[in-house]
Chain A
């Protein structure tokens, strides 16, 4: 029979993890709304993403503050120490994912009056549809402590990278039309933002692996 000898510490640690997961849920929704704002040119959705990011930023600061207090006062060890390390990493990653959603939303607002190219838009929607399940998978793996399923994330990221790399070709095809080219050039930035979100979901998966095994892992090795 195991009894928790440090209930206050573990309550604080659990609470910190819950806040981090709330932040992850919010960021996941922000990415979905940002892509939707791009398709609909709905400025209300843009405002919703930006307002939500303010909340994310507050959560980021709150998590950092509580993280420092726990480290200073409790000196966590073992899996508690690994959880603290993972939370610090997730906090940074989620905050940047939120920023990417804001970048997409702001581009949606800036390009609202410009002509659009449907193939590019469809590719971006497809990228959004690919990265949202990646975020969900990474968060679910963290909650479930599932070091096996998170290994699926690099494979889920491959089509996102392929779509991002192919985006230039579609943009160049818009070169005959100046207003369309202006829109398409901005869409390269959207593609890049979604590609980064996919990579960041993989980063969260790596933190799950670290949390469960104690080994720092890089799921994706770059060559050349």
Chain B
């Protein structure tokens, strides 16, 4: 079973629906689109992430937080099989997306990445025009439509249209850092994704550009589901609906393995978390 290619809502064979419930700590509201059970990730012999269960809810912003090396970016990359591109990476456990096993043999990883887009820490526009940055991906995927409309719609959704509409033929590399990052978001949503993954999307941006991205994230969640990795706890508190806190266990051999400690509504995590380990982290008592 593969995910269908049409744009618009993802259509999934109901036989692949899991019927799984969210974890007891998470408020049950929006439908679950990612159902992760028993996730373990290895880079060759290195056990990067252990025994993680996590549900991602539709049209919500889920923040993954935790100290360096806790595996939050590794988990994020499991959502669209980006770990496949890392030599020696091995994923065990179940990653169900709308009930479909993303790591199943019939699933096309390229199509997964079209459905589940990604925005990286450092803005990485193609060394092409603003216009071409938007239309490149859909054209490669065989999309046939009006590219002018696609460019305008994507840039409008990324809150960038008014700033670049008169310089669509200019190099994307001439834009400011914040504009480049919004262009990357526009590029990600041009392929009509269902989910947008963001890995530290604001860490290379100034405060004003950061607030614009955060505002954009809240607008985008009406259409997309967003999962964001951030080192900035205030950012997680500002933008997300749910927060997953990861920590690191250090083994006898010094190996550092990440694990999910607590997952709950963002309000709960940042005001009265259930676990001392979470509270110690968010209040700066750790290490």
Residues of A that sit less than 8 Å from B by CB? 2-6, 9-10, 75-82, 213-215
Cβ of B283: which chain A residues have Cβ within 8 Å of it? 6, 76-80
Q: Is the CB of B286 within 8 A of A78?
A: no
Most chain A beta-carbon neighbours within 10 Å: one of B234, B278, B280, B283:
B283
Q: Is the CB of B233 within 8 A of A77?
A: yes
Cα distance A76–B273 in the bound complex, in angstroms: 14
Q: Is the CB of B287 within 8 A of A78?
A: no
Q: Is the CB of A81 within 8 A of B287?
A: no
* B270 at interface by CB-CB < 8 Å: yes
Shortest Cβ gap from A102 to chain B (Å) = 36
Q: Is the CB of A6 within 8 A of B284?
A: yes
Known: A2-B285, A3-B285. 18 other contacts (CB 8 A): A2-B286, A4-B285, A5-B285, A6-B285, A10-B284, A75-B234, A76-B283, A77-B237, A77-B282, A78-B271, A78-B279, A79-B272, A79-B279, A79-B283, A80-B283, A82-B271, A213-B272, A214-B271
Pairs across A and B, CB under 8 Å, 16 listed? A4-B284, A5-B285, A5-B287, A6-B284, A6-B285, A10-B285, A75-B234, A77-B271, A77-B282, A78-B272, A78-B279, A79-B279, A79-B283, A81-B270, A82-B271, A214-B272
Cα distance A214–B270 in the bound complex, in angstroms: 11
Main secondary structure of the interface of B (DSSP, over half): helix
Q: Is the CB of B270 within 8 A of A2?
A: no
Cα distance A214–B237 in the bound complex, in angstroms: 17
Cβ of B282: which chain A residues have Cβ within 8 Å of it? 77-78
Q: Is the CB of B284 within 8 A of A9?
A: yes
Q: Is the CB of B286 within 8 A of A3?
A: yes
Cβ of B272: which chain A residues have Cβ within 8 Å of it? 78-79, 82, 213-215
Cα distance A78–B283 in the bound complex, in angstroms: 6
Shortest Cβ gap from A23 to chain B (Å) = 24
Cα distance A77–B283 in the bound complex, in angstroms: 6
Most chain B beta-carbon neighbours within 10 Å: one of A2, A10, A213:
A2
Cβ of B285: which chain A residues have Cβ within 8 Å of it? 2-6, 10
Cα distance A79–B285 in the bound complex, in angstroms: 11
Cβ of B284: which chain A residues have Cβ within 8 Å of it? 4-6, 9-10
CB within 8 Å of A: which of B250-272?
270-272
Cβ of B279: which chain A residues have Cβ within 8 Å of it? 78-79
Cα distance A76–B285 in the bound complex, in angstroms: 12
Nearest neighbor of A210 in chain B, beta-carbon distance: B272
Cβ of B233: which chain A residues have Cβ within 8 Å of it? 77
Cβ of A79: which chain B residues have Cβ within 8 Å of it? 272, 279, 283
Most chain A beta-carbon neighbours within 10 Å: one of B234, B237, B285, B286:
B285
